[in-house]
Chains A and B, each alone.
Chain A
Amino acid sequence: MPDFSDILEVLLLRNYNTRLVVLGTTLLGIAAGLIGSFLLLRKRSLMGDALSHATLPGIAIAFAIMVSLGGSGKSLPGLLLGATLSGVAGIATMLLIRNTTRLRDDVAMGFVLSVFFGVGVASLRMVQSLPGASAAGLESFIYGKTASMVQSDFLLIALVAGAASLVSLLFLKEFLLLCFDDGYAASQGWPTLFLDVLLLGLVTAVTVIGLQAVGLILVIAFLITPPTAARFWTQRLLPMLLISALIGGVSGWLGASLSALTPQLPAGAVIVLVAAALFLVSMLFAPERGVLPRLLNQARLRRKVDRQHFLRAAYEILEAQAGKSETSGDGPVRNVSFPTEVLLEKRAWSSRQLRRILRIARHEDHLESAPTGRLRLSEPGFGEAARVTRNHRLWETYLIQYADIAPSHVDRDADMVEHILGAELVRELEAKLSGELPGHAVPPSPHPLPSA
């Protein structure tokens, strides 16, 4: 087990052996995070998948050509050039299929992926018989061989990752326009075809250098996972790009460091798992679009709606009782106890819902102790009920008189509007209407109430 100082040394890039690997994968993660964001926004995340599989024949063929020309076949730039060319051929095939047939994107990608990969596997097996093929470790491109990164590999990765990031930042505005509305971009005279090809070129560059570092399956994760995770944190583009680059960089940095500390763990796999963990955290907890915050918001909203429904129903019951008890028309509404069944008649609540709602009302001091089977609002509860009812009726009046909505729709709409708009706006409306309606008393309902 490595001790703390070892860990710190690797993480802070002080360890000479691992410095290059960790720095290389970090840079790769940043570049892939940036460029992957554009792919995600164009809904082409799996492009990286198809592309990385499509590079395999190029690697095998480049190796065969280099050997037949008398070289060693091991030269990394040569192999990566082959990978790039066959990746570009893959993209061209994809675009051709998409533009000349009625097959959709996913079929075009699947076609390129499987056929190119098939050719790649077949030609890899063919060149395997060449001298030095096993030594070149061609198959390591499938699973990656991060730990064996040497200085020249690192320089190549750093150069390409840096250039790709720089280009994507230079063309930021154009790419964003392309991602959001390519039709508009084209109509405004932007060279969308050029931009599209440029973007795919950047994807190819990142994929090809990623092949060496993490292997052709796992480089896909680098292009997909960070942007998708970043999407949960923000609705805006620039922050999303930055977060995505950050997540990509952190995955590369942590993953490569972890794998450097425990040699039996392959770096590519660890990096992907770190990215996946960051994705999971983002999906569950990100404040803006995360799953748990959204569920909490929903629960809070439901609670608010239930509270208002309960108070208003209680007030309407009291109102009806006041009307009944006095012989000379409507008397003042008084806070008395009323049977629970009456409440249930007004609202279709299950007994479980009712218990929950009453518990919350007691918690808020809206209820006082009453004989079993009866409910009695407390003084603050009664005041709040009057306020809620008044609010509601003001809204209904407003909708009926100003918004030309048929009275039969009002009850529901009023509820919804009330729950959607903030308290400030409601207050503003009250102020507007208080001129026509008597001061603080709860105005009568503007439409007949459903009989309780």
Chain B
Amino acid sequence: MNWTAFDTWIVVTGALCAVACALPGCFLVLRKMSMMGDAISHAVLPGLAIAFLVTGTRASVPMFVGAAVAGLLTALFTQWIMRFGNVDRGAAMGIVFTTLFAIGLLLIRRAADHVDLDPDCVLYGAIELTPLDTLGIGGLDIPRAALVNGAVLLVNLAFIAALYKELKLSAFDPDLAGTLGFSPQFLHYLLMTLVAVTTVAAFESVGSIIVIAMLIVPPATALLLTRRLLPMLGIAATAAVLAAATGHLAALVVPGWFGFQSTTSSGMMAFASGLLFLLAWLFGPEQGVVARWLRRGPVEPEPLSQTQTKTT
């Protein structure tokens, strides 16, 4: 293995992106909307395609705007179908994002005759290539992707810091938030905008798979370890950074074990976040499988909060 400055930048970029996703992800998980990240990341495809067809370039700004609009529309359409059609959230989300994705595929296929716009490069990005595209700032060549994701992270941090109380209240008790005069609806769309912007920024630079994983897995890990919001945000951010670092390391090492040449760092970062979740699941001090085993014998499944989900 040969660790270079190149690898350091990949890890830094990945970590910035991972934390930027994990923070709003905590609120998605708490609001039972974990699948929204996945839905938005598929649904932005037509936005990207339309922006491309209109401007004819792969310039970042129009693509970004197109994707962010498509992301917001996903949230909006889902909400409408839920409200006017009385449809379960999961089903509404599934219909909206598959439809938008199909539209995107059609548009891309139509455009593909003239240009190179490949759904693969849209969906998987290429974090390995990010250090090639740098901006010189203060004598340091910083990858553009690191700057973009750093900026998104700052925006997300500022958003959460500014609206911490409101977000907390509406995540845990939307009805109370409503009666106290914070519109949960408004916060919902604000959060969705944030998720859409984060997704799109990360997409363009590092690929969607990191986004989908980091929106859900580090917050889920944190939720296994704490029941309080502030520690949850901290743990999620830490897990995200760890996943980015170990993921890239694994991408360098693991293919060798099986005799392959290389793999994608983004896929391995998602995998690494899954392993961290596994650790927390097994060895969490309070709710971990092992800890509970030691406390009271074999694990009994906890009764689920909803009546419909029990199977045994």
Contact = CB atoms under 8 A, between A and B. Distances in A.
Contacts of B145: none
Main secondary structure of the interface of A (DSSP, over half): helix
A217 to B, nearest CB: 6
Contacts of A103: 220, 223-224
B271 A221 contact: no
Contacts of A193: 311-312
Nearest to A282: B85
Given A106-B33, A115-B270, A121 B124 contact: yes
A264 B299 CA distance: 54
B274 interface: yes
B212 A113 contact: yes
Interface string B31-68: 01111011000100000000000000000000000000
Contact of A98 (B99, B212, B217, B304): B304
Interface in A39-70: 40, 42-46, 48-49, 64
A40 B260 contact: no
B312 A121 contact: no
A159 to B, nearest CB: 26
B105 A143 contact: yes
A10 interface: no
B192 interface: no
B231 interface: no
A125 B265 CA distance: 10
Interface residues of A, number: 71
Contacts of B119: 143
B267 interface: yes
A211 B167 CA distance: 39
B193 interface: no
B189 to A, nearest CB: 19
B113 to A, nearest CB: 8
A231 B81 CA distance: 13
A218 B42 CA distance: 11
Main secondary structure of the interface of B (DSSP, over half): helix
B165 interface: no
A48 B102 CA distance: 17
B238 interface: no
A152 interface: no
A118 B102 contact: no
A72 to B, nearest CB: 18
A114 B105 contact: no
B271 A119 contact: yes
Q: Which of B103, B223, B260, B305 has the most C-beta atoms of chain A within 10 angstroms of its own C-beta?
A: B260
Contacts of A225: 94-95, 98-99
B106 A45 contact: no
Interface string A186-221: 100000110010000000000000000000011011
A92 interface: no
Interface stretch (A269-277, A303-311, A346-354): A269-277
B153 to A, nearest CB: 19
Contacts of A97: 281
Interface in A279-318: 279, 283, 289, 291
Given A45-B90, A121-B124, A100 B299 contact: yes
B44 to A, nearest CB: 13
Contact of A272 (B99, B124, B305, B312): B99
A40 B251 contact: no
Given A101-B224, A102-B302, A231-B87, A224 B98 contact: yes
Given A46-B93, A221-B102, A115 B213 contact: yes
A272 to B, nearest CB: 4
Given A114-B213, A218-B98, A291-B85, 12 more contacts: A106-B90, A107-B223, A114-B217, A117-B209, A118-B274, A186-B310, A218-B102, A221-B94, A221-B99, A227-B91, A228-B91, A269-B102
